[in-house]
């Protein structure tokens, strides 16, 4: 189907100062964990988006000096010419595919914990970091101010030399320029503090100096929070006023919301709490202050919504971080009317957790994100397998099984069957997506359903539970087991390294998450307790389900924070707030010592006993692999050989329970390497390291 005419507006070119964007799709700066430490990974990752049709691709935050060192988090850097050489790989890749390249020049000020450089952080005033009370900055003198502004100019010059087309004077997310602008962070009484004019001075001067220095070599972009929200000091009126004052010097406004330490409302809002484009309430106001091009983000994947906000004049460019990770080819697919092929971001923020804390970005929807260079994976291209004449049976249509089958079919295997005991594809996603707030994760299934339907050599066989004989008799050359994992009924876990006395199979008053969500069982009575030793979405989700049905619910976790892993996905604070608002009592840092029909015996972090009176318990202790089928097949290699099964592999949770993103990755990996000498063993990937 051709593109709908109402989306034509998205493919108009846009002028930003001396440069022209080929369309309105703009990959805003976002973290990856690549920086200048992995220059080839950086180049291939951004270059893939350029190939996918984005008009501009930007780096992550890019430090301008050693005082702006936010390690252990990984930023890009332009401290010297070597850094510029590293980033030149990226600009070349972007240009090769017709995109502009942008660099987000950054000074963290107070937030640069300088753990690598060991220099004192700089800030307008001496207030400690709200992340870490040990980090107390040095107050910037007028000489420091001039020096930092000059460092911005020097870095901008290097950026131009490295081939960048767009240079940022990045100030949002309450980094140094916003710290000056905010009366909360800026307590100065000199020409750089006090009145709005004075607080705006540092940033305005920096923009002016960069503008003068780069001339027409690059477009100048400024990233600003329309409102820093949550008491961070720069409210909408001042945000807009700053835009007015700087407007003549700026070619592109990249408008965000929120503060670095503001976890309630922020740009990378998870789908659990935020709808597409929710930021527009604030960022959508920037037009009042400027006629220059504006880019905003909003996890936009719906072309109608994109066209509507452009047509309405609110913004000129559709900015994206996550939708561009989840589908680097989003613009091309819309341009060519391939709407149902878009791999829509699910808003889970696994990418964020991996790029910030894991140092290498990954994505739940797009297994190839971050693997373009080191594994040579292209999200849209699949090499014909050397063993394409073979057939494959995949047992289990969960995330790992679906993904593996699709990759195998795209690689041209003669025939791929995915067999599942259930009625539909999805595996654990069937019930996970029914947990409160996680409906959008269903896009993982939606995308794969469309893909599977398009592949004539791929067939889904529902309602069949296979045992070892069934697999051997199936007639496939390759058998792949993707049977998933189950929550332990006896409460066995790695925290106490023991089962929970009183838990076990067949008890009406002690249930697992699957019993609640799949079998529809409920703990008896009006009072329930959820024991959570995992700390991600399941325990909190089950607690919400039970509470919504009118029970009194208490949640006990061994961690200091409820659902602590959700802090890495930017869901934690809101989630805890929701549990609190729902009236769910929370016990932190505690373990369950026994369960009986009257309740839970527990111990606090010092071992002091306490009791939770309740009528039933849901134990979210740990998942164990459902590997019985794989082991039965492994145990009889002769029978396997006699049946003509040449390859046997296991993927996903049935090997080791893991994040959905990693189960999908595992399935994808096997599909990509099905013709390697030993497909069960991952091939080594390219590493980037200093040469000695
Ligand atoms: P993963 O996350 O590793 O993909 P899931 O637990 O989501 O795993 O999915 C496993 C799927 O395998 C489920 O849909 C389940 O119904 C299916 N399954 C498990 N054992 C068998 C079996 N013996 N035969 C067919 N399907 C099975
Ligand atoms: Fe979107 Fe999740 Fe992928 Fe991030 S990891 S881009 S939030 S689907």
Residue from 426, 434, 460, 484 to probe ligand 1 pocket by mutation (most atoms less than 8 Å from CB): 484
642, pLDDT greater than 90: yes
| Predicted local distance difference test score (pLDDT) of residue 232 | 80
Task: Give me the CATH topology for the region 488-623.
Answer: FAD/NAD(P)-binding domain (3.50.50)
**Region 518-536 average pLDDT:** 98
Atom of ligand 2 nearest to the CA of 346: 8
Atom of ligand 2 nearest to the CA of 347: 7
| Predicted local distance difference test score (pLDDT) of residue 355 | 87
Distance CA 168, CA 492 (A): 51
| Predicted local distance difference test score (pLDDT) of residue 604 | 97
| Predicted local distance difference test score (pLDDT) of residue 75 | 96
Protein residue with its CA nearest to atom 11 in ligand 1 = 396
Task: Give me the CATH topology for the region 5-355.
Answer: TIM Barrel (3.20.20)
Q: Tell how far the Cα of 511 is from the centroid of ligand 1, in angstroms.
A: 20
Q: Tell how far the Cα of 364 is from the centroid of ligand 2, in angstroms.
A: 6
Q: Tell how far the Cα of 326 is from the centroid of ligand 2, in angstroms.
A: 6
Judge contact between 632 and 336, C-beta under 8 A: no
Q: Tell how far the Cα of 438 is from the centroid of ligand 2, in angstroms.
A: 13
263, pLDDT greater than 70: no
Judge contact between 589 and 558, C-beta under 8 A: yes
**Region 648-672 average pLDDT:** 98
Distance CA 100, CA 50 (A): 8
User: Per residue in 99-121, pLDDT tens?
Assistant: 999 999 999 999 998 999 999 99
Distance CA 270, CA 276 (A): 10
| pTM for this model (two decimals) | 0.97
β-strands 25-27, 623-625 pairing:
unpaired
Distance CA 203, CA 196 (A): 12
User: Per residue in 156-210, pLDDT tens?
Assistant: 999 999 999 999 999 999 999 999 999 999 999 999 999 999 999 999 999 999 9
**Region 520-549 average pLDDT:** 98
Q: Tell how far the Cα of 572 is from the centroid of ligand 1, in angstroms.
A: 29
462, pLDDT greater than 90: yes
Atom of ligand 2 nearest to the CA of 362: 5
Judge contact between 619 and 529, C-beta under 8 A: no
Distance CA 57, CA 44 (A): 11
Cβ partners under 8 Å of residue 9, min gap 6: 24, 307, 310, 311
> Nearest to residue 239, comparing CAs of 190, 288, 302?
288
How high is the mean pLDDT of the chain? 96
358, pLDDT greater than 80: no
Cβ partners under 8 Å of residue 113, min gap 6: 69, 70, 71, 121, 129, 131, 132, 135
User: Per residue in 42-55, pLDDT tens?
Assistant: 999 999 999 999 99
56-60, 268-272, 575-579, 597-601: least confident range: 268-272
| Predicted local distance difference test score (pLDDT) of residue 466 | 98
Protein residue with its CA nearest to atom 6 in ligand 2 = 322
| Predicted local distance difference test score (pLDDT) of residue 50 | 99
262, pLDDT greater than 80: no
Q: Which ligand is nearest to the CA of 426?
A: 1
Q: Which tokens belong to 308? A: 């509507």
Distance CA 236, CA 365 (A): 35
Distance of CA 641 to the CA centre of its chain: 42
* Residue boundaries of the structural domains of the chain: 5-355, 391-484+626-672, 488-623
Q: Which ligand is nearest to the CA of 469?
A: 1
Pocket lined around ligand 2, Cβ cut-off 6 Å: 322, 325-326, 345-351, 363-365
Predicted confidence band of residue 267 (pLDDT cuts 50, 70, 90): confident
**Region 343-364 average pLDDT:** 92
Integer Rg of the chain from CA: 27
How many other CB atoms sit within 10 Å of the CB of residue 549?
A: 10
Atom of ligand 1 nearest to the CA of 652: 3
Work out the percent of the chain whose per-residue pLDDT is above 90: 93
Q: How far apart are the first and last CA of the chain?
A: 54
Q: Tell how far the Cα of 226 is from the centroid of ligand 2, in angstroms.
A: 24
Class of the CATH domain delimited by 391-484+626-672: alpha beta
Cβ partners under 8 Å of residue 186, min gap 6: 124, 125, 179, 180, 192, 193, 199, 233
Catalytic residue numbers read 175
User: Per residue in 120-136, pLDDT tens?
Assistant: 999 999 999 988 889 99
Cβ partners under 8 Å of residue 376, min gap 6: none
Distance CA 670, CA 675 (A): 9
Protein residue with its CA nearest to atom 26 in ligand 1 = 420
Residue from 32, 300, 324, 346 to probe ligand 2 pocket by mutation (most atoms less than 8 Å from CB): 346
Atom of ligand 2 nearest to the CA of 349: 7
Residue from 273, 323, 349 to probe ligand 2 pocket by mutation (most atoms less than 8 Å from CB): 349
Q: Which ligand is nearest to the CA of 397?
A: 1
Pocket lined around ligand 1, Cβ cut-off 6 Å: 395-401, 419-422, 427-428, 465-466, 482-485, 626, 629, 652-654, 663
Predicted confidence band of residue 690 (pLDDT cuts 50, 70, 90): confident
User: Per residue in 398-433, pLDDT tens?
Assistant: 999 999 999 999 999 999 999 999 999 999 999 999
| Phi/psi of residue 648, nearest 5 degrees | -125, 125
**DSSP H/E element including 104:** strand 100-106
Q: Tell how far the Cα of 349 is from the centroid of ligand 2, in angstroms.
A: 5
Judge contact between 259 and 230, C-beta under 8 A: yes
Beta strands in 290-329 (DSSP E): 294-296, 317-320
Q: Which ligand is nearest to the CA of 366?
A: 2
Distance CA 382, CA 651 (A): 20
Judge contact between 127 and 181, C-beta under 8 A: no
| Predicted local distance difference test score (pLDDT) of residue 82 | 96
Helix, strand, coil abundance in the chain, percent, nearest 5:
35, 15, 50
Q: Tell how far the Cα of 322 is from the centroid of ligand 2, in angstroms.
A: 6
Judge contact between 402 and 451, C-beta under 8 A: no
Distance CA 101, CA 16 (A): 13
Atom of ligand 1 nearest to the CA of 486: 6
């Amino acid at each position: 189907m051709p593109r709908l005419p109402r989306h034509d507006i998205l493919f108009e070119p846009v002028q930003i100062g001396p440069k022209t964007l080929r369309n309105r799709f703009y990959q805003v700066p976002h973290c990856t964990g690549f920086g200048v430490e992995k220059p080839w990974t950086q180049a291939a990752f951004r270059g893939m988006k350029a190939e996918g049709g984005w008009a501009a691709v930007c780096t992550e935050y890019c430090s301008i000096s050693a005082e702006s060192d936010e390690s252990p988090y990984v930023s890009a850097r332009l401290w010297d010419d070597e850094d510029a050489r590293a980033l030149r790989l990226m600009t070349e890749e972007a240009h090769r595919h017709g995109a502009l390249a942008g660099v987000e020049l950054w000074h963290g000020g107070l937030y640069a914990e300088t753990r690598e450089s060991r220099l004192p952080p700089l800030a307008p005033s001496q207030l400690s970091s709200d992340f870490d009370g040990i980090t107390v900055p040095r107050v910037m003198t007028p000489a420091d101010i001039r020096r930092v502004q000059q460092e911005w100019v020097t870095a901008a010059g290097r950026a131009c030399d490295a081939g960048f087309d767009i240079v940022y004077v990045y100030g949002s997310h309450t980094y140094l320029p916003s710290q000056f602008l905010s009366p909360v962070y800026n307590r100065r009484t000199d020409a750089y503090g006090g009145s709005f004019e004075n607080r705006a001075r540092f940033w305005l001067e920096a923009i002016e100096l960069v503008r003068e220095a780069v001339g027409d070599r690059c477009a100048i972009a400024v990233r600003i929070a329309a409102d820093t929200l949550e008491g961070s000091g720069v409210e909408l009126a001042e945000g807009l006023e700053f835009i007015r004052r700087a407007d003549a010097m700026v070619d592109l406004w990249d408008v965000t919301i929120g503060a670095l330490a503001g976890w309630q409302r922020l740009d990378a809002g998870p789908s659990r709490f935020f709808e597409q484009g929710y930021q527009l309430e604030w960022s959508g106001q920037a037009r009042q202050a400027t006629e220059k091009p504006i880019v905003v983000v909003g996890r936009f994947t719906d072309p109608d919504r994109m066209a509507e906000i452009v047509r309405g004049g609110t913004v000129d460019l559709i900015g994206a971080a996550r939708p561009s990770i989840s589908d680097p080819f989003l613009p091309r697919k819309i341009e060519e009317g391939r709407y149902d092929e878009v791999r829509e971001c699910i808003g889970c923020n696994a990418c964020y957790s991996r790029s910030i804390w894991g140092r290498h970005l990954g994505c739940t929807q797009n297994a190839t994100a971050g693997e373009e260079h080191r594994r040579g994976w292209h999200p849209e291209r699949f090499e014909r397998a050397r063993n394409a004449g073979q057939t494959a049976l995949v047992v289990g249509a969960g995330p790992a099984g679906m993904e593996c089958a699709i990759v195998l079919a795209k690689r041209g295997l003669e025939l791929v069957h995915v067999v599942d005991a259930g009625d539909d594809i999805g595996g654990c996603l069937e019930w996970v997506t029914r947990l409160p707030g996680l409906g959008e994760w269903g896009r993982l299934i939606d995308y794969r359903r469309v893909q599977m339907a398009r592949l004539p050599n791929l067939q889904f066989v529902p309602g069949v539970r296979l045992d070892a004989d069934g697999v051997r008799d199936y007639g496939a050359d390759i058998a792949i087991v993707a049977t998933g994992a189950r929550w332990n009924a006896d409460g066995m876990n790695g925290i106490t390294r023991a089962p929970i006395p009183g838990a076990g199979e067949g008890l009406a008053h002690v249930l697992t998450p699957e019993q609640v969500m799949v079998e529809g069982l409920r703990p008896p009575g009006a009072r329930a307790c959820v024991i959570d030793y995992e700390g991600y979405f399941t325990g909190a989700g089950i607690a919400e389900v039970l509470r919504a049905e009118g029970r009194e619910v208490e949640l006990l976790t061994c961690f200091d924070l409820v659902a602590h892993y959700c802090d890495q996905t930017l869901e934690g604070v809101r989630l805890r707030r929701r549990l609190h608002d729902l009236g769910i009592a929370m016990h932190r840092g505690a373990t369950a010592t026994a369960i009986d029909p009257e309740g839970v015996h527990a111990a606090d972090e010092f071992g002091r006993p306490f009791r939770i009176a309740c009528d039933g318990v849901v134990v979210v202790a740990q998942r164990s692999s459902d590997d019985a089928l794989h082991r039965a097949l492994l145990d009889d290699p002769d029978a396997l050989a006699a049946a003509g099964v040449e390859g046997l592999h296991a993927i996903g949770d049935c090997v080791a329970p893991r994040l959905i993103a990693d189960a999908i990755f595992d399935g994808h990996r096997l599909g990509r390497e099905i013709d390697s000498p030993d497909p069960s063993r991952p091939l080594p990937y390219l590493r980037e390291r200093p040469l000695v």
